[in-house]
Structures are given as structure tokens and as C-alpha cells.
Structure 1
Amino acid sequence: MPPVLPPGSQLESREHERAARIRFRRAVTLMVMTLLLPGSAQLVAGNRKVGRVALRVTILTVGIGLFLLLLSLVWHDFALRSATNPLLLGLLRLVMIGLALGWAGLFVDAWRLGQPLSLIKNQRLAMVGINGLLTFSVAGTLLFGAHLVGVHRAFIVANFGDGHATGPHDGRYNVLLLGGDSGAGRDGMRPDSITVASIDEETGQTVLFGLPRNMLNFTFAEGSVMAEQFPDGYDCGTECELNSLSTWANDNKSLFKDSERPAGVQATIDGVEGITGLKINYYAQVNLDGFKKFVTAMGGLTLNVRDRIPIGRIGKIEGYVEPGIRKLNGYETLWYARSRAAADDYSRMARQKCVLNAMLQQLTPGMVVRKYQKLTEATAGLIETDLPASELARFADLALEAKAKPVRTVSFVPPAVSTSNPDIDEIHDMVDKALSSAKEKAKKKAKPAAPKDGFTRDKVQTQGASKGSYSSGYSANEATDLGSAC
């Protein structure tokens, strides 16, 4: 029988303090056990049934997570498809929320098992702080992760549909890229930028074909709605430019009732297919004001500005984008791509391609992870496309492949092509030559990738550039590596 200590004695006080320290260490240990192995605290000191369930869930979750991680490392396509599947993303979000709530509940229970009322005041306060820190840190991290997954899922659902996937044409995917002043799909919008990105289905090697918005007297793809309306070509005068097709189609929407695409987009595709001879798989229409916000969310875009580019319209110049290797914000990048106050449409087309190339190189996976929420928020109203969500993984993989290869470019502009009376057969030959050249080059030993900033620093000699204008530094009638021209 233990000796009875005199009440209030120094020995009793020391024994009380020792017992309090033991209880405090036990309480802290239970919290740490819950952090490292959820459910273990309940197995040792609480409801063992709850502990066994929590432990099984923990082991199962960790096991599945490790398996999926290893599978993703050896099978990238699986990772990409999983990350772009709305159903799986929704399930992951619910699982993360459930884990957060369950883990938080285990922390609270572990705090209870630590018998906080038996601790002295300072120890009780410390336990409250430890419990609050662990609960909010762990559960908060999982809930924030669930929020990001929800944002990502909402982005995919909002921007990509569930339409039909189309296969490659002659081994290539052809995507029409349109840029316009007003919101995607609005009546009367005239595309400010018209480019076809032709992407090799295996290597991701990309050729950009730039079409001037002021092209006249061209023919349409055989069998298309526009070909039926203009069997002799789009020859209705100087107002009938390539970028006016959208306005014409929106005024005659009933003709396009069988098309799944917006009337203006379908009419433009009919024209682009007729001019280039390429069959378009998908389109992406970008709101240029949204593009400005996206570049801002990226933290800016580094470009090699070769000439002084006016900011503003003719007669209302507000400033300049000065020459040099510069990191431009969204506002400056938009004017760099759009300005024609001191140049022509063809110079502007060249700058727009440089912007596309720079974005391809600088929008790295690391940047996407670090700034994902800002980037997805900036895409609200930015893009309209018929690329189905089921194809996102394929194109993400091709984009990663393309980053290691130079982007080649061809522009159908004078002197190679007359924009007022284009030789369509000659344009088709230019397209075939560019694609054949790109295919042959891809077979050869790969050259070093372009710098991460998306351009080379070697000076490119320009020919025929007037004072104050911008020249792309390459011939329009042959495919040129875009990195060397920007």
C-alpha cells in the first residue's frame, strides 16, 4: 500500500506535477498518433471499432494513392485522362471533403481522450492550441485541395463540351484559332486573328498557318453551306473579307441550323478549309480582353520586341512597347499582338505568332500548378471551343511533346500570296510543302529546344520592312522555325 503523503506537502506537489506531465505527454502523443496514423489513438485509448475503421480507410487511401502515383509515373496518358475527367474529378472532390471531415473528427476525439480537464491550466491551453493547429492544418489543406479540384472541374465543364471526338486527317489534327474583340459567340464579331495550328498526331510537331483577315475572292470547302451560297467564291466586293464571314453567317443563321457550331464559326471554317485545303478538327475562339487577363495571371510574358510598338489606335497613341527583351504585362502583350498603328496586318500576324510561341514555351506545368486558381479564374469568358473534354488528355500530351520542338510557321501574305486575288492552288501547294517539310524534319535528329522564354536572341535579318514597321524576318512562302523569327 503506497504511503499517504501529507496534504499540501512539497512531496505531494512534486508528485502532482509529475502526474500532470505524464497526462500531458499522453495527450500530445494521442494527437501525434492521429496525425501520423489516423485511428491509432482510438485503438489504444478509445473506441476500437472507430479506430479499426479509420485505420482501414487510412491504409486503403494511402495504398490507392501510391498505386495511382506509380501508375501515373509510368503511364502519363492515364494521369492526363484522369485529370481531365469531370466524373472522376467530382468523385475525388467528395472523397477529399470526406477525408477532411473524418480526420478533423479524429483529432477532436483524440483531444477528448487526452482528458483535457485533468490537465493544469497551461497544459489545457497548449492542448487547445495543438489540437486547433493540427485540425485546421490537416483538414484545411484537404478542403483547399478539394476546392482546387472543384475549380479545375468547373473550368473543364464550362469550357469544354461532351461533343464528338474526331480523328486526325492525314496524321494531323488541325485546330482553328480565332481571336476577336467581343465575347465568344456574339453576333457581329469579326475575328481579329485567324490561324490554323496543324499538329502531328504522334510527335506534337506544330505548323502554324496564318491567314490575313482581309483576304478576298477565295473559294469554300466543297459541299459546305458557304460553297452553296457562293459557288464562284466569296467575290461580293471589298467588304467581303475573310473576317466578315462571321457577320454574314450571323445574319443568315437559318442556313446553319444543322451545324453544331455557331453560325459565324462554321462559316469561317468553311472559308479556311477552302483556302488551305485542310480539314478542321476543332476550333478555339478567344476573347482578346480575356487573353489580357490570362497573361496577367501568368505573371507576364517575355518577348523579344524588335520594333517600337504603339499602344492605342491611330490618332490616339497612349504609349509604346519599347524594343528589347522585355517581360510584358497582359495589357502590353495585347497591344503588342494587336497594334497596327505603325505597321500593317501582316506584321501584326507575325507578332501574334510570336505571342503564341512564347505562351507555348513559358506556360510550364510548374507555373500551372503554382498559379492554377488565378489562371482558371482568368479563363472565365476567355475561350469557346468544341474540343470535347475527352480529348483534353490527348492534346495536353501533344502540347508537352510540342514544347521540345520548334514551331514552324507559314503566312499567306504578299508577296507570296495576293490577298485580293489569291491563287488557291498555290496556297494548297504551300500547305503541302510545309507539312511535308515538317514531317521530314521530325524524322531527323532533334535539335536543341528553344530557350524557355520562347525565343532566340540571334538577330534575324528583315527584308522589305518599312520604317517603324515590324517584320517577322521570314519568307511567307516557306515554313520557318518560329523561334528563330521572334
Structure 2
Amino acid sequence: MPAPTERPGDRAASRVRFRRALALLLMTLLLPGSAQLVAGSRRVGRIALRVVLGLLVGTVFLVLLGSVWHGLIYFLASNTFVLAVLRLGLCLLAVGWALLFLDAWRLGQPLELRQKQRLAIVGLNGVLCFSVAGGLLFASHVVAVQRGFIAAMFGDGVASAATHGRYNVLLLGGDSGADRWGLRPDSISVASIDQETGQTILFGLPRNMTNFPFPAGSVMAEQFPDGYDCEGCELNSLSTFAQDNRALFKGEDNPGVAATVEGVEGITGLTINYYAMVNLQGFRSLVQAVGGLELNVRDRIPIGGVGGPVTGYIEPGVQRLNGFETLWFARSREGADDYSRMARQKCVMNAMLQQLSPRTVVTKFEAIASASEELISTNLPASELGTFAELAMKARSLPVRSVSFVPPAINTSAPDIDKVHAMVQAAIDKSEGRSSGGTKAKKGFSRAGSTTVGGSIGSYSEGYAANKAGDLSSAC
């Protein structure tokens, strides 16, 4: 039996039906609910349009408000309840949009289309469904990662008020492992941050400092009323002492940190608001996650050494170092002294502040969050994340000052605490634009012809530039 002859009018009608089906899908992509409003359930279309318009208006309002009040954006991005609501909303939006695509495909009457047209519409609908819904579900996953990261990393403790307009955060760095992590920190610094401008001063404390006092009335002051002056009593051993005498620190989750805070407060005269304890192996993962750091390697830096073999070198030059290389740049002691290493560590901190841009955080967030959970232990409450995120953004555009209590300015075995306090006050006064009656700071190093030791400008006798810099970037 011969096949029926197709009339020209049938082909024209088929093209019209195909264009109509295509238009319904594109309308759903551009304005969800519009396809139902013109060809299906008007009630469903109105509900979808109201939801979409409400979300658009709300988003525009938040963007405009956030452009003048940055703290709102940081609060929304760090509040676990808001993130939970956002995650649920993204999931519901993904499901709802996908159902609208399926309904638009149904309204296009695919069974009345030619086979090729039907296949094209089915394929297009599948691509749109998976692309839009998949994108929203991925966004929901990122929000879940952010929420999980905040919940795991930060507690719900009481916020600490700024002292004299500054937040002081103790930064501790050490190796992980049962015999070291949290016991004897290799790196001890205080980041003093202006609560209005974000202007930051890094105060560096040598781990081998001895014979220093504790604040009156503190636990350690009761144990050492004449100062921390005994056999093997160095600043980085406070944590070990406290771990061995936990009964003295009732109610403290981390006695080692509590004792170290008391020591740092006694040395500097600053009130410590929060601490962050950095696992150096986790730091390696973090640097790897952000794609490495660009650092100026001034001398050949050994990898290994001091109790073990040198297994390689980081060659001189301005270059991007991976996580492994950055870790050794910060901690290598072979052919260098502790104070040269402290200077290199400050250069790494400055590089992290300057190079960890919002774009990098967004595009590599999941890897950063995964690395950070292994990296930091802190008592900074989640409620303060927005405040410190905003201060960090301000700090990126300002020079970071550096002051270290090391030779030749300070004798680490018999420190002049009054001089240390004067150095702290002078640095704060200068940072805040006030004149100080303290000792004038030495002029910075000349970049041309400066000697280097262990990869840092300067020497033990004259001091290292990065340990006493008005602008840390210029000393690195």
C-alpha cells in the first residue's frame, strides 16, 4: 500500500508547531512560568512568575545594599542558618525549574511533531533541565560546603570586644603529630588589626624568648611570680608546661594555648582577643589549593637539613612556589638563623593576604575549605566571621607593618619588657597616624646592595628588614 502523500500545508503546520514548542522552552529558560501563563495553567504560571520576580527584586536589593554596607554580605555568607535556608531554597528552585521545563515540553505537544523535530525538542529540553537544575544543585553543594566548613571550624563562643580600637589575634604555627601539634609552636606572631581601617601590624615573637613576665592575676603568674626563668623555659615551651599541668587551667579546652596567650600578653602588653593555631602540613595543602604563592626567593633555600639531610633546594628568583616549596621557604633553618626564618615567614603571611583574592576563594572554594579544615584551630566565633572578612578586604589595600622582638633590638634571653611595650605602642601610634614619644624606628633597608642571609634582607647583627618594616611588601 503506498504511503500517504504529505501536503504542503502539513509541512507548514509542522514548522509552526516546532517553533511553538521551541519558544515555550526558551520562555521557560528566560522567564520561568511565562510558558504556563500563555499556554498552560495560568495559576502555575502566576505563582512561578511571582517567585522569580520576588527573587530578582530581593537579589537586586541585597546587591545594592551590600555595595554600601559590605558587612551585610559577609554576615549572610558566614551565618550558618542563612546558609541552610539558602541551600534549601536552591534545591527547591532547581526542582521547580526542572518541572517547569518538563511542563513546557508537554505544552509543546511533542507527539504531534515530526520525528526529527521531536528528538530535537527532547534533546534541548534535557540539556536545559540538566544545565539549569544542575547548576543550581552545584551552587547548593557549594553552600553546603561553606556551611559545613564554618560549623566545623568556628564555634559559637562569645565575641571579644576590641581593645583600644584594635583586635589582637595570636597566630601559632607548628607541625602536626602526637608529639608536636599544639605542643611547641615553631612560629608565634600577633596580628594587631585596627577595627575601623583594617590596618594591620604583625608583631613577631621569637620562640626561644626566656625570662619574661605574665599578666598579674593570671594562672602562669601564680606559678612563676618572678617571670618565666627556669631551665628549658622558653616561650614555645609554655604549651608543653600547660598540657602537663592541665589541672591549673580548669575550664580551658586548650590549656597550651591559654598559657601561651598569657605569655604573649605579658611580653607585649596587648590583650589577645582570639587565637588561630596553624598546622603547617595543612598550610601546605592550602597553598596547593590556591595554586601556589608568588614569592621573591633571594637566596638558595635548602629543603631539609638541621637534623636531617638536605634533599633539594628552592632556587633564587621571583617565582610561584607550590605548597611543598612554600612550606620549606617558610620553615627552612639550614644555613640561616631563627630570625631570618621569622622574616621569611612574615613574607609568606603578607603574600597570602595580598594574593588570596575573592575570585580565587570563589573559584577554588571547595579545595580551600577542605584544606582549611586540616589547617586551623581557632576560638574565633562564627558570629565574628563577617567582621574579620571585611577587615581582611580592607587590609589587602594597605601596607602591613612588621615589628619583631629580636636581636639586635631585644635580647631574647633577657628581654627589656619596658622597651618591648614601648616598641608596641610606637608601632600602633605610627599606624594610626599619631606621633609617639617612644624610640624612633630605624630607617628601612636600602634595596640596592643589601646583604641577605638565609633568603632575608639583613643580618643577625643589623636585623632583618621583614622583621621591622613599615611596608612588609617592600621588605620581601
TM-score grouping bracket, smaller chain normalisation:
over 0.9
Say whether the 8 Å CA contact 1:214–1:242 is kept in structure 2: yes
1:457 deviates by 13
Determine the structure 1 residue equivalent to 2:295. 303
Count of residues in correspondence between the two structures: 463
Distance 2:43 2:396 in 1: 53
- 2:190 maps to what in 1? 196
Which residue is 2:17 aligned to? Answer: 23
Report the 3-state secondary structure (helix = DSSP H, G, I; strand = E; otherwise coil) of the residue aligned with 1:38: coil
Structural mapping, 1:24-63, within 5 Å: 24-63=18-57
| CA RMSD after TM alignment | 2.3
SS in 2 for 1:480: coil
Tell me if structure 2 keeps the 8 A contact 1:184–1:285: no
**What is the CA–CA distance in structure 2 between the aligned matches of 1:30 and 1:398, rounded to whole Å?**
48
Equivalent residue of 2:217, what SS? coil
2:456/2:466 contact within 8 Å kept: no
Q: 1:188 to 1:8 in 2, by over 3 A?
A: closer
* CA deviation string 1:235-286 (max 9, x = no partner): 121x211111111111111111133x51110000010000111000000001
Q: Which residue of 2 aligns with 1:90?
A: 84
Give 2:283's match in structure 1, choosing from 272, 285, 291. Answer: 291
Hey, what's the Cα distance between the residues in 1 that align with 2:213 and 2:398? 33
- Residues 6-405 of structure 1 correspond to what in structure 2 (within 5 A)? 12-182=6-176, 189-237=183-231, 239-259=232-252, 261-314=253-306, 315-405=308-398
TM-score by length of 2: 0.92
Deviation at 1:344, TM superposition (A): 0.9
* CA apart distance, 1:126: 0.3
CA distance in 2, matches of 1:67, 1:236: 62
SS at match of 2:433: helix
Report the Cα distance in structure 1 between the residues aligned to 2:182 and 2:86, rounded to whole angstroms.
41
Letter in structure 1 aligned against 2:316 = P
Whether contact under 8 Å (2:465, 2:475) holds in the other structure is no
| d(CA) in 2 for partners of 1:469, 1:147 | 42
Q: How far has the Cα of 1:480 moved from its partner?
A: 3.1
Contact persistence 2:287–2:293 (CA under 8 A): yes
> Aligned letter for 2:336?
A
Q: Which moved more, 1:291-300 or 1:220-229?
A: 220-229
Give the Cα–Cα distance (whole angstroms) in 1 for the partners of residues 266 and 226 of structure 2.
Answer: 12
**CA 284–144 in structure 1, closer or farther in 2 if over 3 Å, else same:** same
* Secondary structure of residue in 1 paired with 2:216: coil
Partner of 1:483: 473
Does 2:452 align with 1:459? Answer: no
What is the letter of the counterpart of residue 42 of structure 1?
A: Q
- State the distance in 1 between where 2:294 and 2:75 align: 31
Question: Structure 1 residue 186: deviation in Å?
Answer: 7.4
Q: Of the candidates 408, 412, 419, which is equivalent to residue 426 of structure 1? A: 419
Deviations along 1:365-397, one digit per CA (max 9) or x if unpaired, are: 121122212211221221011111111111111
SS of the counterpart of 1:191?
coil
Within 2, Cα distance between the matches of 1:185 and 1:388? 28
**Does structure 1 conserve the Cα–Cα contact (< 8 Å) formed by 2:401 and 2:468?**
no
The equivalent residue for 2:438 is none
Aligned mates of 2:445, 2:14 — CA distance in 1: 70
Which amino acid in structure 2 is aligned with residue 230 of structure 1? F
Distance 1:185 1:104, change over 3 A: farther
Q: Corresponding residue for 1:448?
A: none
CA-to-partner distance for each residue in 1:309-362, whole Å, 9 max, x for gaps?
Answer: 100123410111111111111000000000001111111000000000111111
Greater CA deviation, 181-190 or 15-24? 181-190
Pair 1:183–1:202, CA change in 2 (3 A) = farther
Using the TM superposition, give the Cα deviation of residue 470 of structure 1 relative to its aligned residue in structure 2, in angstroms: 3.7
The 1:296–1:457 alpha-carbon spacing in structure 2 relative to 1, beyond 3 Å, is farther
Give the C-alpha shift of residue 474 in structure 1. Answer: 4.2
Give me the whole-angstrom Cα distance separating, in 2, the residues matched to 1:154 and 1:375: 13
Distance 1:294 1:61, change over 3 A: same
Kept in 1: contact 2:198–2:395 (CA 8 A): yes
Query: Offset at 1:471?
Result: 4.0
Bigger Cα displacement from structure 2, 56-65 vs 180-189:
180-189
Task: Please say if residues 188 and 250 of structure 1, whose CA atoms lie closer than 8 Å, have aligned partners that are also in contact.
Answer: no
Gaps of 5+ in 2: 436-443
Distance 2:279 2:371 in 1: 11
8 Å CA contact retained: 1:312, 1:319: yes
- Retained in 1: the 8 A contact 2:399–2:470? no
Q: SS where residue 243 of structure 1 aligns?
A: helix
One-letter code aligned to 2:301: I
SS in 2 for 1:379: helix
Gaps of 5+ in 1: 1-6, 443-455
Is 2:440 aligned against 1:409? no
Q: CA deviation at 1:475?
A: 6.1
Rounded Cα–Cα distance in structure 2 between residues aligned with 1:400 and 1:277? 27
Counterparts of 1:143 and 1:214, CA distance in 2: 51
CA–CA distance in 2 between the matches of 1:267 and 1:290?
24
Q: Is the 8 A contact 1:242 1:268 kept in 2?
A: yes
> Are the aligned partners of 1:184 and 1:287 in contact in 2 as well (CA < 8 Å)?
no
Where 1:432 maps in the other structure, the secondary structure is helix
SS at match of 2:209: coil
Letter in 2 for 1:389: A
Amino acid at match of 1:352: Q
